[in-house]
Chains A and B, each alone.
Chain A
Amino acid sequence: MSLRDFGPNELMFLIMATRWTILLALIAFAGGGVIGLVVAALRVAPLPPLRWLAAGYIQFFMGTPILIQLFMAYYGSSLLGFRPDPWAAAAVTFSLNGGAFFGEIFRGSIDAVPKGQWEASTALGLRFIPTLRLVILPQAVRLMLPPTVGFMVQIVKTTSVASLIGLTELARAATQINTVTFQPVLVFGTVSLIYFMLCWPLSLYAGYLERRVGEGVAVKTRKPLLLAS
């Protein structure tokens, strides 16, 4: 085992590891998005037990650290007879966790749609799911976008926690490379830069979306935001 200086090979190793960070983030977005839609629908469903189930689910995944959820999935899988695989554990955990956060985001924007829309749909004879699909969600989508993109930034950063169950992504690659080069400033500096380049554009986009929605919302509501205090 030779000691190496931080050079192009090591930089390549970090960049290759970034693929896994991006992959995990996309899985979280896709899985979490789908679960989030279901959870949000349950949250506003007409049946109280469904609402409570969704509320409990959200409370659990938002009210406990994601690291603990990861450990439970990783070690717990062996109880159920599955090989503890960091990727499977991470994919499941990030999807479920994302589902809770997206569920809250989606529900918030669903709630922002005027109640009159629900009543009008009932008057037209539409049941719950068609109402949601055809009337409510299209209007809610515009409000959902800024917090959704904002949460994507969170997801990318949170993938770093998966390194603590041994999943090879950028943060784990950082410690591995640092053990070979022992040049922490270069290693962690480069890694910070890579994360920054992944997250900052998303943050800026989220800010832009928020401003666009804000203009629309300020026109729609009667009270200007300034007097909110």
Chain B
Amino acid sequence: MQTALQFGPVLIHLDRLLVGVWQTIQLAVLSILLGTVIGTLGAIGRSFGPRWVSWPIAAYVELIRNTPLLIQLYFVFFTLPLIGLKFSSGTAAILALSIHLGAYATEILRAGVQSVPVGQIEAAKSLGLSSYRIIRHVVLVPAVRAVYPALSSQFILQLMGTSIVGAIAAEELTAIANNLVMQTFRSFEVYIVIAVIYFVLVQAASLVFAGLGRLLFRWKN
């Protein structure tokens, strides 16, 4: 019976919650890195690749972006073992999260790539730069700079998306919060504390991405 809010029983377990914060950050960072790599390859393949490359990528993007992350998690964790791919909860979570972000990142970066004036690429070709160099310096850098705000927003969404991986028994902040609720029966207090922690995480992440953006894109055209 809860009549008054009591935060005491929750706050003594702050150490467990901080473990959860660390796990959440790990999930987010790893899946963001992997997802961005997937997205970069996808955007390039989609924009410059032959049809047998760009069409499967487009299909992947449409499929992932139009189905829920939860179902993708269930698929990786419960279905893949049937064909011999048995991943642990944590690995499955990172895999599904990366594939999820990869689709969004592909779309976002593709828009960025297409915003690079064709003339730039042709000028680079005529200067004799290798394909790799062209893609890296002439296409990717301006592309990422153009869509950086959209990309950072997607990263923030990814951070919050980690909250549902408890459905496949992966450990992170929300799962630990649920354990705490079962233990202390102080559901509302636990979730208020968790909400505050996520809020702080999101603000911190926004600052980090903003700072990173200023650092990476110091020079303007």
Task: Please report the total number of B residues contacting A with Cβ < 8 Å.
Answer: 42
Q: Beyond the given A160-B71, A199-B66, please list 11 additional residue pairs across the A-B interface where CB-CB is below 8 A.
A: A60-B195, A60-B199, A63-B199, A67-B174, A71-B177, A71-B178, A160-B68, A184-B75, A192-B71, A196-B66, A225-B115
B56 CB-CB contact with A under 8 Å: no
Cα distance, A60 to B65, chains bound together (Å)? 25
Instruction: Report the stretch among B31-39, B127-135, B185-193, B208-216 that lies at the interface.
Output: B185-193
A-B pairs, top 4 by smallest CB distance, nearest first, are A75-B187, A65-B163, A199-B66, A160-B68
| Residue in contact with B71 in the complex, picked from A68, A79, A191, CB distance below 8 Å | A191
- In A39-74, the 8 Å CB interface with B consists of 59-60, 63-69, 71-72
Instruction: Report the stretch among A1-9, A111-119, A132-140, A170-178 that lies at the interface.
Output: A170-178
Given contacts A68-B174, A72-B191, contact A164 B66 (CB under 8 A): no
Cα distance, A164 to B178, chains bound together (Å)? 11
Complex: chain A residue closest to B201, CB-CB: A63
Closest approach, in angstroms, between the C-beta of B220 and any C-beta of chain A? 9
11 A–B contacts from the bound complex (CB under 8 Å)? A63-B203, A66-B160, A68-B177, A68-B194, A157-B66, A161-B68, A185-B79, A192-B63, A199-B66, A199-B67, A227-B117
Contacts of B199 in A (CB 8 A): 59-60, 63-64
Closest approach, in angstroms, between the C-beta of A89 and any C-beta of chain B? 12
Contacts of B198 in A (CB 8 A): 63-65, 68
- In B163-193, the 8 Å CB interface with A consists of 163-164, 167, 174, 177-178, 181, 187-188, 191-192
Cα distance, A60 to B188, chains bound together (Å)? 16
Cα distance, A200 to B164, chains bound together (Å)? 23
Given contacts A75-B181, A79-B2, contact A195 B188 (CB under 8 A): no
Q: Is the CB of B67 within 8 A of A195?
A: yes
Q: Is the CB of B78 within 8 A of A178?
A: yes
Cα distance, A200 to B69, chains bound together (Å)? 15
Closest approach, in angstroms, between the C-beta of A41 and any C-beta of chain B? 24
Task: Please report the total number of A residues contacting B with Cβ < 8 Å.
Answer: 41
Contacts of B187 in A (CB 8 A): 71, 75-76, 78
Cα distance, A65 to B177, chains bound together (Å)? 13
Contacts of B71 in A (CB 8 A): 160, 171, 174, 188, 191-192, 195
- In A80-133, the 8 Å CB interface with B consists of none
Q: Is the CB of B115 within 8 A of A63?
A: no
Q: Is the CB of B70 within 8 A of A226?
A: no
Complex: chain B residue closest to A153, CB-CB: B66
Q: Is the CB of A68 within 8 A of B191?
A: yes
